[in-house]
Amino acid sequence: MTSPRLIPEFAPQSGVMVTWPHSHSDWHNRLDTIEPVYVEITRTISRYERVLVICYDDRHLLHVSDLLRQAGITASTVHCVAVPTNDTWVRDYGPLSVSGRSRPRLLDFTFDGWGGKYDAAHDNQVSGRLFAAGVFKVPELDHHPLVLEGGAIDTDGCGTLLTTTRCLLGSGRNPGMDKTALEACFHENLGIERTLWLDHGMLRGDDTDGHVDMLARFCTPQVIAYLQCTDRADEHYDELSAMEEQLHDFITHDGFPYTLCPLPMPQAVYSEDGERLPASYANFLIINQAVLVPVYNDPVDRQVLAMLQQCFPEREIVAINCLPLIQQYGSLHCATMQLPEGVLQD
- 319: burial class by Cβ within 10 Å (0-12, 13-18, 19+)? middle
Q: How far apart are CA 341 and CA 345, in angstroms?
A: 10
Under 8 Å between Cβ of 71 and 37: no
Give me the pLDDT at residue 103, please.
85
Q: Establish whether 185 is a catalytic residue.
A: no
Question: Burial level of 128, CB count in 10 A (0-12/13-18/19+)?
Answer: middle
Whole-model pTM: value is 0.97
Q: What is the pLDDT of residue 161?
A: 98
Residue of 80, 219, 311, 334 marked active site: 334
Helices (H), the chain: 31-46, 58-70, 113-116, 126-132, 165-168, 179-190, 237-249, 301-311
Torsion-angle region of 201 (φ positive above 0: left; ψ -120 to 50: alpha; else: beta):
left
Question: Taking Cα atoms as reference points, which of 238, 150, 253 lies closest to residue 195?
Answer: 253
What is the predicted pLDDT for the residue at 202?
A: 94
The whole-number pLDDT of residue 3 equals 77
Q: To which H or E segment does residue 280 belong?
A: none
Residues 59-82: tens digit of each pLDDT = 999 999 999 999 999 999 999 999
Contact 205, 283 (CB under 8 A): no
Per-residue pLDDT, 101: 79
How confident is the model at residue 1, as a pLDDT?
44
Cβ atoms within 10 Å, residue 318: 19
Task: Note the pLDDT tens digit of each residue in 147-175.
Answer: 999 999 999 999 999 999 999 999 999 99
Nearest Cα to Cα of residue 287 among 50, 55, 31, 5: 50
> In a structure prediction context, what are the per-residue pLDDT tens digits for the chain, which is 346 residues long?
467 899 999 999 999 999 999 999 999 999 999 999 999 999 999 999 999 999 999 999 999 999 999 999 999 999 999 999 999 999 999 999 999 878 899 999 999 999 999 999 999 999 999 999 999 999 999 999 999 999 999 999 999 999 999 999 999 999 999 999 999 999 999 999 999 999 999 999 999 999 999 999 999 999 999 999 999 999 999 999 999 999 999 999 999 999 999 999 999 999 999 999 999 999 999 999 999 999 999 999 999 999 999 999 999 999 999 999 999 999 999 999 999 999 998 8
Query: What pLDDT was estimated at residue 2?
Result: 62
Q: What is the pLDDT of residue 96?
A: 98
Amino acid making up residue 218? F
CATH 3.40.630.10 for domain 13-340, yes or no, is no
* Amino acid occupying residue 7: I
Q: What are the residues facing 257 on neighbouring strands?
A: 251
Is there a contact between 281 and 304 (Cβ–Cβ < 8 Å)? yes
CB 177 within 8 A of CB 121: no
In the chain, domain spans: 13-340
